[in-house]
Every structure is written in structure tokens, then in C-alpha cells.
Amino acid sequence: MTEKDKFIEKAKENIEKLKQLKTEIHGTDFLRTWDHTKNDLEAVVYVAQALENMIKANISCQVFKGGLAISNFRDQSTRTRFSYSSAANLVGLANSEIDESKSQVAHGETVRETANMISFFAEFYGIRDDIFLGEGHKFQKEVSDAVADGFKQGVLNSKPPIINLQCDEDHPTQSLSDLIHIAQYFGGLENLKGKKIAMTWAFSPSYGKPLSVPQAIIALMTRFGMDVRLAHPEGYDLIPEIVDLAKKNAEENGGKFTQFNNMEDAFKDADIVYPKSWAPFVVMQERTKLLKQGNAVADQLKQLEKKCIEKNKEFIECDEEKMKLTKDGKALYMHCLPADITGVSCEHGEVSAQVFDKYRIDTYKEAGHKMYVISAMMLLTKFKDVPELLTQLIKENTPRKKAD
Amino acid sequence: MTEKDKFIEKAKENIEKLKQLKTEIHGTDFLRTWDHTKNDLEAVVYVAQALENMIKANISCQVFKGGLAISNFRDQSTRTRFSYSSAANLVGLANSEIDESKSQVAHGETVRETANMISFFAEFYGIRDDIFLGEGHKFQKEVSDAVADGFKQGVLNSKPPIINLQCDEDHPTQSLSDLIHIAQYFGGLENLKGKKIAMTWAFSPSYGKPLSVPQAIIALMTRFGMDVRLAHPEGYDLIPEIVDLAKKNAEENGGKFTQFNNMEDAFKDADIVYPKSWAPFVVMQERTKLLKQGNAVADQLKQLEKKCIEKNKEFIECDEEKMKLTKDGKALYMHCLPADITGVSCEHGEVSAQVFDKYRIDTYKEAGHKMYVISAMMLLTKFKDVPELLTQLIKENTPRKKAD
Amino acid sequence: MTEKDKFIEKAKENIEKLKQLKTEIHGTDFLRTWDHTKNDLEAVVYVAQALENMIKANISCQVFKGGLAISNFRDQSTRTRFSYSSAANLVGLANSEIDESKSQVAHGETVRETANMISFFAEFYGIRDDIFLGEGHKFQKEVSDAVADGFKQGVLNSKPPIINLQCDEDHPTQSLSDLIHIAQYFGGLENLKGKKIAMTWAFSPSYGKPLSVPQAIIALMTRFGMDVRLAHPEGYDLIPEIVDLAKKNAEENGGKFTQFNNMEDAFKDADIVYPKSWAPFVVMQERTKLLKQGNAVADQLKQLEKKCIEKNKEFIECDEEKMKLTKDGKALYMHCLPADITGVSCEHGEVSAQVFDKYRIDTYKEAGHKMYVISAMMLLTKFKDVPELLTQLIKENTPRKKAD
């Protein structure tokens, strides 16, 4: 059996699992994992894995000949930006990014109008909008409504599904990549039940990191029956509704959700740890108010950040001592990257260099699933019968790269 | 008959009409509508409509496998930028935009040299240059001459046709989209004869809007025998040569061209109204002089704009009262977007919220033709026998999106 | 014989020559010409020429269906940027550029991490990093090591070859384009032996031009047995190790390498002249130190540049008088463009308007090879049997542009 055949076999297994699922994802957006059924989320996982295996088997997955995948990054991005443009290219689309500074958006044009104006040839519309609490998800909904109306009114040939590339509430392309990572680590989604995952706040010299990653993790992992342990110092709360959601998810899926106020307790006997910094909730609220007022209050913003850093003298870091508390002292360390590494990228950071270096390659692999997760969201929201579509691609077996 | 078959039928009708036309567009640039015969303009309309129907029939129109469509936006753009990159993608090219700030153009490199340096793999060269009176068209001609010389001298494999994405004189991708919009509204190009279209100045809080849209409209619509009514307050003249051209076009094509100094008179009994702001001609001339001097005269520029706004206290707006003056009170309202909407995007604008909202979807559809107009310009300037090319694409029937 | 057939014949001749060469380039990066055997360099030339002929024969050369060619331009670029995106498109890839200002690179993320994060779907990784002496090549090596490790560790499906789009030491895509240019001028690589090429410093009003072009020329042309004549005023030395390399190359390949301190002596009896400005070596060292300190020392940087310009009152320019010194008064003038042309782009420059204008078209053609050189580097570093690959493409004969 050749290498190629092995990957094709694996892809076929992924497709078989996919066939078992009754999904409701076709025709929807992908905004938050909690907008979707568990079957839909599993479908994303299996399609992503199938695509990864098909690409490794050198099978072209370009299902489009012409069409755009548009994107709007309202915040900096490297990983997600390249994952999105890779995913677009993988399915046969050109990535076209709207730069609001170069467009008339900056001139007060309405969201509704712009959304339609750039979507005439768009198959997908990816958005990152994660800076302001209470804004990002709202904006994505607004764009979704705008293009849905455009399609209904005959302006657009189709409604491009919106893909959330991180908002103030959720970061689904990240958390689903994380899910694939741990599913592979533990030998399958079915083995995650009862596994302890510690999502814990860690110190960072930068203020204003979004809450979306920890929120995404606690909301998603509880649905797979995991024992989710959230820890953070006082003042670093997440959005209360999402914490409640995590509790509910745990109850409904035979999982567990517990909160701690320090990293050590959360780490005890953990199978997985995810130490990561995020901004204080109150600061984020205050910051959102200030940011909306623009440059005029730049000084106040700086003072706010300074006050926070002063107050937060305790450098909570994931180091080897703390890792010893985890299951057999060797929990899987995870991070969405880039991590603030003590002594490497900053004086005091989220993780010690020793711990990070041990798991560096793992975190890189974790990140590598994202382009396939996005491709999977694209296929599942757009095509009715994805198992059939993938089967057809395997049958056609068009080489992505000409034979060597 | 399936949906697909219906669109194929429509495309074939467009191609039949195209076949009747003797065109001279192959091998030319598309800089201004008045550089082309009426047949050429009709050909753009029919090819654009054929392509729109073929895309709706899920037929791939990628006639290139490799090659670039380059673009140079010397002014902000959203709609036209995405229309151009969509058109490039539709015909199978990659869009590659030159950013003059990131290139050595900023270092005084000559237009001639840059034009050739970026065109080695370019099939088309789109340019927006609409800020300075007397500059935009000149620059496009310069680029055209440069690549024509490059081709003649054996530097380039072919001469990329230049496509005007708005200059100081004309905005042909806009006005031809507008033409398709009204042709569809009135049931065909042949029904436009005698229809009254009021191109009228309206107030806007922003100064410095180009004159190219009103100029494009009066120069183009007069060629289709329409009754074109231009209205603006004193001082808001268009380029005199283009006004003369509109008169001549009207005479030669059995149309009419009349000038008014207020919106009301122009609106009387109009079938179509196009109320839109533009800068005072004298201001544009003055502004061009100042802009050329750069930051040193920023203060003078601001004072000039302030003076204009003060002088222009009269807020001329298209509201429901004025719409009542039009034919049966229900003329088709048009705008190239984004419109300055009173109470929505500004305090006082070009149009009232009530009027705009009634026609909002129409203006969106109007904008939707642009990508097909650009694609049509691409095919017609590049390929000798476009009817045959389109017929071949329909025969091949390669799905743009894999079957669901 | 049709035009198409003629180009196919030529391409086949290029492929025949290629078949004679035993190469070691597959699986490597292309960082500096001196990292490669002479056979490898000749292979780049023949593949580039074959591709150019195939494109002229309207044969699609897209060997990929999906995949990215990523690029990182840490300095301005027009020619090389478009050459790289053209090359990517030519072989079937999408070009995706990392903009460090829009990414978290700016936040201290390590080179190693970013290199992997953007390479999950990358087939090639082009880098320009030419500003700081001692930095550019080092950075490219670091990226190469990072992705090599990523591949070894299972993070990446393949290791994207790094393509040097100009570093502080070499500019191989330029010098190999130059080599093709002179090979065509003199009827083949085999005719270059003994030809005199004068690489000479010329005055420019701008300070800080990299040393990479003159270094690239003296290191490459000496390998083809040319009589290389380097001339520059005191203080304008190149990196000493590369000058030594040029000497060694000349000895080993039956060539000659001589240094002069004025343009006139170097021009005497030259077949080719390449007058071009570069920064004083000591200034570049000093400048590198200052640039690393950022804005704080902006004043010192300006003073340094001012001092240099003052000191350098002698305007050394390539004019018609000096051209008379060359072989029969008609050596081939070369430049990597853009040239500083006296009276055109500046008051005093590298070359007089008379001389430049005579060779303008030649310099344009010289630049036109670059996209094919980059495509050739792509194919040769990635595919084992390139002669077979090209032969297969010719056999398939897929039209790049649909028949007219």
C-alpha cells in the first residue's frame, strides 16, 4: 500500500463517520459553536480531517472554478489570515480582503451596503472583529442579515455564509482546531469524555487580549463531555452568559465544569492545560467605551492599562513546577499562539521557556488544523451532500501537484 | 426547462444580439465611452449580460489558465476594486494590485518604466485616477502608450488593454452598469429612446467628489437617444468639452440634451433621476493646483473647502416632494453609491432617507452589473471572436461550482 | 511552421540542454548563487528559457492545482514583487504576502514560529531582506531552518524552498536574469568566456542602496569565465568575503577579476558595462547600527547621510564620453532598474539621459526574464525530474489563453 493509498483510506474512514451524522449546517453561517448542533461540530471535524488526508494524498480539492472568498480583518492576524486564504485556495477560490482604510467604509458607508457591494462574486465572507466587547458578534450578525436580505431581494446570486474568524464571544476556527488536536492525541472524539482540561488565566505584559479563546474552549469542550476547569484571578471573569452556557453544556453532555481562582488547583490531575492571558472583564468594558471615543482619550486608555499592570503584580506563569501537578506530570500543554514566553518574547509571560519548548511542536501542529477547519466550514455551509462531494473528488483524483 | 437551461437560453439570446454587431473594440483600450462606436458599447452590454446569465447557469467562464489582471487605484475604492478583482477571477486571472506607496514609483520612477515592469504577465491593466482635473485620463493614456511601445519593441508578449476604473473625465464601468440597469428596467436598449433622465447636482457635506459620474452619464445616455436633463447650481459646471459632446451626441442620435439650474425643473416628468453631488468646477481646478503642492498648502486647501461649504448653504436634496414632480411621481432613482443620505450617513445629504430606502435594492442591483461590464470589456478588447468564445464556453459547460 | 511551433521547438532545445546537466538543486533553497553548482545555475537558465518559450507558445505551465507561494518583502519592491507573483501564478499557485505590520510579527513573535504558521499550504517562500548588512541572508537561513525543522517534526507536509528575492549579500533572481540577457545577446552561455564586463560604482543622490547587485554580478559572472572588472571610489568596498569569492571563481573558471578605482579604466574595451550606485560600505555598517536603534537616532542617520553626500562631491556618471572607451564604443549597457537618470529622475544620477535612452528597451528586456527565473527556481527546487515535467506540459498542450 503506497503512502497515497494510506491517506485515501484514512479520508474514506473520515467520510464514513461523516455519513453517520444528521447535520443541519447546510445554508447557515458559522458564527459560534453554540449556534450549531453537536453533529454539525463533529461534521466539521471529520470533513477537516478528510481534507487534510486528501491533500496529503495529493488530491486537488478545488470544487470551485471562479469565485471569491472575501475577508475583513478588523484586528491584526497572521495565523488565521493565512489559514483563511489557504482554505479559500484549497477549495478553488481567490481570497479578496477588504481593507477598510482603503475603502469608503471609512466614510460612513453603512455595513449593510458594503456587505452587499463586495459580495456579488463572493462564496464566503470571513470576519475577524474581536476588539470591542459587545461588538464583534453583533457586527457579524449585521453582515449576515445584510447579505441574506441581498440574496432574498435578488441582489446576490447566493448568500455567502459568514465565517467567524474571531469575535468578542467565540473563536470557533481556533477551538475546533484545538478539538481536532486533542481528538488525535487521545485517539478520537469518543475518547474525550471525562478528560480534564484546565483553561487558566496566565500573566502577560500586554493588556487587551480578547476573551474569545477561553470562552470558546469552555463552551466547546463541555459539549464533548470533558471535565472543564476554568481558573482566573478575581476580576478576570468571562462574559457571564457564556460561563452559564458552559455549565449547561456540561450538564447536558455528561461533562463537568468547575471554576477555580488559581492555576494550581485547576492543574491538579489535568490531562490538558491551556494557560493563556486575557484582559480583565471590567477593563475590557471600560476599554471598549474609551476606544469608541477615539484618540481624544488615548491618555485615559494608557492610564487604565498602567493601573492594571501595577495592580496585577502577581506573575502567574505556567512553569515546570505547575506542570508537575498535572496527570503523571505530563499533561498536554496547549496554546493558540503566539504565546508570551518568559525570557524569550518578554520578561514575564504566560509560560516558561522550558515548558513551551517541550510542547512547541505540539502547538504548531495544533495550529495546522485551522486551514482545514475553515475549508470544512466552507464545504458544509455551502454544499448539501458533502460526503458525496468528497467521494467524487477522491474518484476524480486530480493531482494537486503534478507527479514528480 | 430547468433554471440552468433558462439562463443558458438567455445567454444565447444575448450572444445572438452580439453577433449582429460589427465592432471595432478588439485590440483597443477602454478609456472613455466616446472613444468607442455605439456598436462597441452595445457589445459590452450584451457580453456583460451573457456572462451574468452564464454564471447564473453555473458555467465557468475562465478563459485563461495563468496570467494577471493588474490594477492601480490612485484613489479609494470598494465597489470598483471588488468588481475588478471579481472580473479578473471570473475570466481566470489573478488580480495583482500595485501599491505605489510600497513600490519605487514613490521614488520618481517614470510612468513608462513602471507600466512595463509590472506588465510582463499582465493581460489587463485597470486604473483609477480621478482626483486631479486634467490628470487622470492623461495618466491612463501615458500608461497605454508605454505598454503599446513595450509590446512593439518586444518587451511584452502582448499589450494589456487599459481599463478605465474612473478618471477625471469618464467612469465607463459605472455608466455602462447604469445603462444595463435601465435597459433591464425598460425592457431593452431599444426602449430607451426618448426616455427622460435627470442628472442633477445634490448637496453633500464632502467636497472634492469627482465630476466623472455626471460627465459619464450625459455623454453616454445621449447616444442612446435619451432625453438627458442636466441640472446644477451656478459654479458646478462640468468640463465644457464633455457638455459639448453630450449636445453633439444628442443631435446625432435623435436624443435631447437640456441644461437647468435647479433640480425641480430637471425632475419634471422624468423617467429616471440621478441626483448626485460633485465638486464645483472652479474648486476642482483650484484644488488640483493645491493638491499638487502637497502638504505645504494643506491649510489653504481646508480654507477653500470651508469657504465652499459656507457659500453653499442651500441644501439641495432629492426628497419625496421632488420625486412627485417626476413621471407619475415614480421615476427610477439611481445612484453610483455610496450616497450621502440625510439623517443616515450625514446631517444633510444628497437624498432623503425615505427616497433612498425605497430604491435601495435597485441601487444595489445597479452596482451588481459592474463586474460583468468589466469582464465584458476584458473579453472584447482581448479576443477577436467573442460570440464564438462564449458559445464554446456554453458548449464545454464546465461547472463553476461542483454540483450539489 | 506556425509561430507556436517555433516556440515549441525552441523550448525543446532548452529542455535538451537541460537534460545534459547533472544537477543538485532539487530539495534545496535558492539563497545565493554560490550555494549552487554551475550546473544548477545553467539549469535555472535553461528552464527559465523553456518556460518563456512555452508561454509564448500559449502553453499553460500550471503544475499546481491549489497551494500558496508566500512572500515577505521587508523592503520596497515593484519589479521583483510582480515577478514573484507572476511566477507563482504561472505555475498555478496563489501569491499570499505577509505584511509584518498587519501581523503579530510586530509583537515579538519569533521568526521560527511565524515561518511555520504561514507555511501550512505554502509551496514556496520568497523573501526580500536587503536593508541591514549582516542581516538579510541570516534571516533567510533562519526561516529555512525553521521550516526544515517544521517539516522534519511533522508540522508541515513539505518544506517550502526559500527563494532569495534580494538579501544583503546576493540578488540571484536579478543576476540570473542578467545572465540570460547577456547570454541571449552573445548567442549562448558558451560565448561568455573572456567577455569583459565592467561593474562600476556611479553617483546617486540617494544613500543606502544595497550592495547586493554588484556582489551578485561579480560572484556570478566570474563563474562563466568572464573578465569581470569592478570599479569604485575609495570607501565603496563590497563585502570582502564576496570579493574574495569572485577572485576564486575567476581562477577556477578560467575567468578574470580585476579591481579599479575609476569608471574610465574599468570601461576600457568592455563588452558590457553595469554602472550602478551603492552605499559606502562603512556607511552601511554604521547605518545598520543606527537603524537597529530605531527612531531615536533618526537625526544621527540624517547627518550621516548628509555628510556622505557632501563628501562625495564627485558626480560619477555613465555618459557618452565614457561609453566611447568601451569596445568599439558600443558596449551593452545594463541596469537592474530603476536607474537614476541625470536630468530625468534627478539632477545628477548614475547615467546620462542620452546613454540610458539608447539602451532603455534593452534594460526592460533584461528585467523581463526575472519572472521566468523565479518560476525556474520553483520547479527545480521542487520537482525531481524537470525535463520530464516540461515535456509532459508540452505534450498536454493546455492553452493558457483560449484560442482566438
Q: Which pLDDT does position C131 carry in this prediction?
A: 84
Strand arrangement of the beta sheet that strand C68-73 belongs to: C94-97, C68-73, C122-129, C162-167
Q: Which pLDDT does position A309 carry in this prediction?
A: 64
- In angstroms, the CA A161 to CA A87 distance is 14
Indicate yes or no: CB of C364 within 8 angstroms of CB of B150: yes
Closest B-chain CA to C339: B109
Residue whose C-alpha cell reads 441644461 in the numeric block: B259
C partners (3+ CB pairs within 8 A) are A, B
- In angstroms, the CA C366 to CA B163 distance is 27
Percent of chain C residues past pLDDT 90, beyond the cut: 81
Q: Which pLDDT does position C214 carry in this prediction?
A: 98
The closest alpha carbon to C358, from C341, C381, C370, belongs to C341
Indicate yes or no: CB of A345 within 8 angstroms of CB of C64: no
Each residue's pLDDT tens digit, A330-379: 999 999 999 999 998 889 999 999 999 999 999 999 999 999 999 999 99
Total CB pairs under 8 A between chain B and C: 108
**Residue C104: band (very low, low, confident or very high) from pLDDT cuts 50, 70, 90:** low
Q: Return the H-helix or E-strand segment holding C245.
A: helix C240-252
Query: What rounded mean pLDDT belongs to chain B?
Result: 93
**Residue B161: band (very low, low, confident or very high) from pLDDT cuts 50, 70, 90:** very high
Residue whose C-alpha cell reads 545577446 in the numeric block: C185
Q: What residues pair up with B256 in beta bridges, in sequence order?
A: B227
Overall average pLDDT of the A154-164 stretch: 97
**Contact by Cβ (8 Å): B163, B236:** no
- In angstroms, the CA A355 to CA A334 distance is 11
Indicate yes or no: CB of A85 within 8 angstroms of CB of C102: no
Each residue's pLDDT tens digit, B381-402: 999 999 999 999 999 999 999 9
Each residue's pLDDT tens digit, B330-344: 999 999 999 999 998
The chain A residues in contact with chain B (CB within 8 A) are 63-68, 70, 94, 96, 98, 102-110, 113-114, 116-118, 120-121, 123, 150, 153-157, 383-385, 389, 392
Residues 6+ apart with CB under 8 A from B1: B9
Q: Which pLDDT does position C113 carry in this prediction?
A: 93
Indicate yes or no: CB of C65 within 8 angstroms of CB of A345: no
Closest C-chain CA to A56: C157
B partners (3+ CB pairs within 8 A) are A, C
Name the amino acid, one letter, at A211.
L
Total CB pairs under 8 A between chain A and B: 109
The chain C residues in contact with chain B (CB within 8 A) are 55-56, 60-62, 73, 76-79, 81-83, 85-86, 89-90, 92, 94-95, 206, 337-338, 344-346, 361, 364-365, 367-368, 371, 398-402, 404
Q: Which pLDDT does position A286 carry in this prediction?
A: 81
Using CA atoms of C335, C339, C342, C348 in order, give the dihedral in degrees to the nearest 10: -110
Cα B120 vs. chain centroid, distance in angstroms?
Answer: 27
Q: Which pLDDT does position B310 carry in this prediction?
A: 66
Point out the residue among B94, B113, B392 whose CB comes nearest to the CB of C338: B113
Top residue of A93, A97, A103, A386 to mutate, by most chain B CBs within 10 Å, is A103
Distance from CA of B256 to the nearest CA of C (A): 40
B139: cell is 495618466
- In angstroms, the CA C158 to CA C150 distance is 9
Name the amino acid, one letter, at A300.
Q
Point out the residue among C106, C120, C150 whose CB comes nearest to the CB of A86: C120
Each residue's pLDDT tens digit, A218-245: 999 999 999 999 999 988 999 999 999 9
**Contact by Cβ (8 Å): C349, C205:** yes
Q: Is the pLDDT of residue C295 over 80?
A: no
**Residue A45: band (very low, low, confident or very high) from pLDDT cuts 50, 70, 90:** very high
Q: Is the pLDDT of residue C254 over 60?
A: yes
Q: Which bin fits A66, alpha (ψ -120 to 50), beta or left (φ > 0)?
A: left
Q: Which pLDDT does position A310 carry in this prediction?
A: 66
Which chain C residues are Cβ-neighbours of A77 within 8 angstroms? Answer: 102-104
Overall average pLDDT of the C97-124 stretch: 81
Indicate yes or no: CB of A117 within 8 angstroms of CB of B364: yes
Indicate yes or no: CB of C55 within 8 angstroms of CB of B157: yes
The closest alpha carbon to C137, from C212, C26, C226, belongs to C212
**Residue C312: band (very low, low, confident or very high) from pLDDT cuts 50, 70, 90:** low
The closest alpha carbon to C47, from C379, C393, C383, C366, belongs to C379
The chain C residues in contact with chain A (CB within 8 A) are 63-68, 70, 94, 96, 98, 102-110, 113-114, 116-118, 120-121, 123, 150, 153-157, 383-385, 389, 392
Q: Which pLDDT does position A301 carry in this prediction?
A: 73
A partners (3+ CB pairs within 8 A) are B, C
Query: What rounded mean pLDDT belongs to chain C?
Result: 93
Q: Is the pLDDT of residue C298 over 90?
A: no
Closest B-chain CA to A116: B364
Q: Is the pLDDT of residue B302 over 80?
A: no
Give me the interface pTM, i.e. the ipTM.
0.94
Each residue's pLDDT tens digit, A105-151: 555 558 889 999 999 999 999 999 998 889 899 999 999 999 999 99
Q: Is the pLDDT of residue C97 over 60?
A: yes
The chain A residues in contact with chain C (CB within 8 A) are 55-56, 60-62, 73, 76-79, 81-83, 85-86, 89-90, 92, 94-95, 206, 337-338, 344-346, 361, 364-365, 367-368, 371, 398-402, 404
Closest B-chain CA to A119: B82
**Residue C404: band (very low, low, confident or very high) from pLDDT cuts 50, 70, 90:** low
Point out the residue among A62, A79, A364 whose CB comes nearest to the CB of C150: A364
The closest alpha carbon to B252, from B43, B40, B37, belongs to B37
Beta strands C196-201 and C162-167, pairing class:
unpaired
Cite the residue boundaries of each domain of chain C with CATH code 3.40.50.1370: 3-170+370-396, 174-367
Indicate yes or no: CB of A402 within 8 angstroms of CB of C150: no
Indicate yes or no: CB of B66 within 8 angstroms of CB of C73: no
Overall average pLDDT of the C15-20 stretch: 98
Q: Is the pLDDT of residue B205 over 90?
A: no
Which chain B residues are Cβ-neighbours of A113 within 8 angstroms? Answer: 337-338, 364
Q: Which pLDDT does position B68 carry in this prediction?
A: 98
Q: Which pLDDT does position A295 carry in this prediction?
A: 66
A90: cell is 484549497
Point out the residue among C67, C118, C155 whose CB comes nearest to the CB of A365: C155
Asked which of A130-139, A224-233, B160-169, C356-365 is least confident by mean pLDDT, the reply is: A130-139
Q: Which pLDDT does position A10 carry in this prediction?
A: 98
Percent of chain A residues past pLDDT 70, beyond the cut: 95
Closest B-chain CA to A123: B401
In C234-338, where do the E strands start and end?
256-260, 272-276, 332-333
Q: Which pLDDT does position A194 carry in this prediction?
A: 97
B74 vs C291, residue with greater confidence: B74
Each residue's pLDDT tens digit, C24-70: 999 999 999 999 999 999 999 999 999 999 999 999 999 999 999 99
For residue C162, the SS3 value is strand
Overall average pLDDT of the B230-256 stretch: 96
Angle at B149 between CA B121 and CA C317, to 5 degrees: 95
Q: Which pLDDT does position C167 carry in this prediction?
A: 97
Residue whose C-alpha cell reads 463586495 in the numeric block: A118
**Residue C392: band (very low, low, confident or very high) from pLDDT cuts 50, 70, 90:** very high
Q: Which pLDDT does position A248 carry in this prediction?
A: 98
The chain B residues in contact with chain C (CB within 8 A) are 63-68, 70, 94, 96, 98, 102-110, 113-114, 116-118, 120-121, 123, 150, 153-157, 383-385, 389, 392
Residues 6+ apart with CB under 8 A from C386: C18, C43, C47, C379, C380
Distance from CA of B176 to the nearest CA of C (A): 25
Task: Tell me the CATH number for domain A3-170+370-396.
Answer: 3.40.50.1370
Using CA atoms of C121, C124, C128, C129 in order, give the dihedral in degrees to the nearest 10: 70
Which chain A residues are Cβ-neighbours of B76 within 8 angstroms? Answer: 102-104, 106-107
**Residue A312: band (very low, low, confident or very high) from pLDDT cuts 50, 70, 90:** low
Indicate yes or no: CB of B383 within 8 angstroms of CB of C402: yes
Return the half-sphere exposure (C-beta side, CA atoms, 13 A cut-off) of residue A251: 6
The chain B residues in contact with chain A (CB within 8 A) are 55-56, 60-62, 73, 76-79, 81-83, 85-86, 89-90, 92, 94-95, 206, 337-338, 344-346, 361, 364-365, 367-368, 370-371, 398-402, 404
- CATH class of the region C174-367: alpha beta
**Contact by Cβ (8 Å): A349, A341:** yes
Residue whose C-alpha cell reads 544537477 in the numeric block: C23
Task: Work out whether the CA dihedral B335, B337, B338, B343 comes out positive or negative.
Answer: positive
Percent of chain A residues past pLDDT 90, beyond the cut: 81
Asked which of A325-329, B345-349, C195-199 is least confident by mean pLDDT, the reply is: B345-349
